[in-house]
Amino acid sequence: MATHPDNLRARLEDRADLLEATRLRYRALRGMLAAFFWKERVRSQFELLLEVARTQPEVDATLAALKRRAAAEGWPASAAPMKLMREVERLREDVRRVAFKRLPAEGRPATLGEALLKLEETVLEAGPLLGRHIWARAVELLPRNLPELRAACAAAEVFEHVFKRPAPEGVLPFTVEEAEALQRALPLAETALAALWQRLEHFDTRGQVKGFLLARASRAPQRVPRSGPELLLHVAFWRGVAWARLRALLEERLAPVVPADAEVPALLAWLAAREGRSECGAEPRMGGPGLFAPEAPGTQPPTRRLRGDDSRTGGSVGLRGVGVEVAGEVRLLACEAFGEGRAGLFELAAQLAALSRERPVGTWDEETAWARLWNAAQRARDEQGEDVERLRDALRLFILLRGQGQTPARLFSPERARVPTAEIGADAGSAVKDLPALVHAARAAAWRGR
């Protein structure tokens, strides 16, 4: 039974909006490509060209599906949806014909979408007819609807959300959930920006546009970005802010170990979980969870709710580099960025930095702290490199300085030093390379210093 014409529009659902928008785009694009100065017309409407190319596979699939449905259900030829489909098909053929006409016969693409992208490259490589100012050229080279620019803007939105707000000193400016967003945003921003700069290098052979934008990339945006170059500068600025803040935070928490850029995303969620920054808004305890201040009986800190199957708060399922709770401590798991030994090295550095920086709050189990140091050193005992040497030097320094007092509030602080004796200097053992052995010697020095 044929469907009533009044109901055909409803049967198309949202595909009617797609076809009507495509009809308008095809008409405008056909006029641009048929003009005498078609390159100049296209140059001023790159966004339209890219939008048609981007949606072309969806339009082709929609037309094919609707034609099959119309034939199966017997839609009348005089119905408005049928007229719309026929008109869109006719305009598509017109655009295909004129687009292929503007391309050389050799190496012509097979589909309309590929042909439009080829036209974009042809126009950009030809350059403007009478020359343009640098900013106008940048607008041509960076249409707002470039997929890479959209991806970069999505990453910049995360950076701005996290790092634009003020944060108390000594506290991570992001929660576990925001750390997960940063894990995705950091590599996305790097990949997208690299593609955008490469695009500028490819089409701007003299390098004027890229140099012009790079000189302004560190300036804070003064208004809401609208054009493609403004969006690129917005992304570059907040990407720079994010990396500067993250490097400072990591230096404070992991010194003397310096993580590589590729390792940073996997460390963020672990640090946030370790300091208790969950979506419940709990404040972190100084020195990290479980290091200094066990909770009162019957209570648990936010980080101790982390489990391997709890992706919501940063368990090993949901976040790369965050492990399960082990003996009251959030462990750092090996991942693609670093292996088991490197993860242990980060854990050891975080423990040393916390014990050097913060004062214990409440009841504190010193043996537990030394046991965690030793366990982390066991994981990292086979690691080599400058980071390992710096950690060894930090442990040897403590052995030489060894703390004093009944409560070692700052185990690795030179402020608690006394003049070293020959016996202590012998314990330092410059020839000792094994990290667990150095931790054991440091513990013995701390006990002798009481």
Structure confidence at residue 431 (pLDDT): 59
- pLDDT above 70 for 424: no
What average pLDDT is seen over the chain? 76
pLDDT at 421: 42
Cα–Cα distance measured from residue 88 to residue 36, given in angstroms and rounded to the nearest whole number: 24
Residue 369 has pLDDT above 60, yes or no: yes
SS3 330: strand
Looking at per-residue pLDDT, the higher value among 364 and 447 belongs to 447
Mean pLDDT in residue range 92-111: 84
pLDDT of residue 311: 35
Q: What count of other Cβ atoms lies within 10 Å of the Cβ of residue 382? A: 13
**Where does residue 288 fall: left (phi above 0), alpha (psi -120 to 50 degrees), or beta otherwise?**
left
Q: What is the pLDDT of residue 307?
A: 32
d(CA 101, CA 106): 12
Residue 315 has pLDDT above 70, yes or no: no
pLDDT tens profile 201-236: 888 877 888 888 988 888 888 888 988 999 999 999
- Alpha carbon distance, N-terminus to C-terminus of the chain: 95
CA separation for the pair 324, 310 (Å, rounded):
9
| C-beta separation of 119 from 103 below 8 A | yes
Let me know: does 303 contact 325? Beta carbons within 8 Å. yes
| pLDDT greater than 70 at residue 11 | no
What average pLDDT does this structure show over 55-61? 90
**CA 229 to each of CA 134, 146, 175: distance values in angstroms, whole numbers, following the listed order:** 11, 11, 32
Range of lowest pLDDT (93-97, 129-133, 342-346): 129-133
Give the residue among 434, 287, 445 at the shortest CA–CA distance from 374: 434
Give the model's confidence band at 306: pLDDT under 50 very low, under 70 low, under 90 confident, else very high: very low
Beta bridge partners of 359: none
Residue for token digits 């066991």?
378
Contacts of 64 by beta carbon, 8 Å cutoff, 6+ apart: none
For residue 365 the two structure tokens come to 């189990």
- Spatial neighbors of 286 by CB under 8 A, at least 6 apart, are 170, 292, 358, 359, 361
Share of the chain above pLDDT 70, in %: 74
The pLDDT tens digits for 386-418 are 888 888 888 887 777 654 444 444 555 544 444
Give 151-175 pLDDT, tens digit per residue.
999 999 999 999 998 877 778 899 9
Please state, in angstroms and rounded to a whole number, the distance separating the CA atoms of residues 284 and 171.
7
Instruction: Give the per-residue pLDDT at 330.
Output: 81
Which tokens sit at 291? 């290091």
Distance, CA of 373 to CA of 353 (rounded, Å) = 11
- From CA 189, how far away is CA 193, in angstroms rounded? 6
∠ at Cα 41 (37, 46), nearest 5°?
145
Instruction: Tell me the per-residue pLDDT of 334-349, one tens digit each, with 9 for 90 and over.
Output: 888 888 889 989 998 8
pTM tops 0.85: no
C-beta separation of 164 from 299 below 8 A = no
The helix (H) or strand (E) run that includes residue 326 is strand 322-326
Find out whether 98 and 34 touch, Cβ atoms under 8 Å. Answer: yes
| pLDDT confidence of residue 363 | 55
The DSSP secondary-structure symbol of 333 reads P
Q: How far apart are CA 330 and CA 321, in angstroms?
A: 11
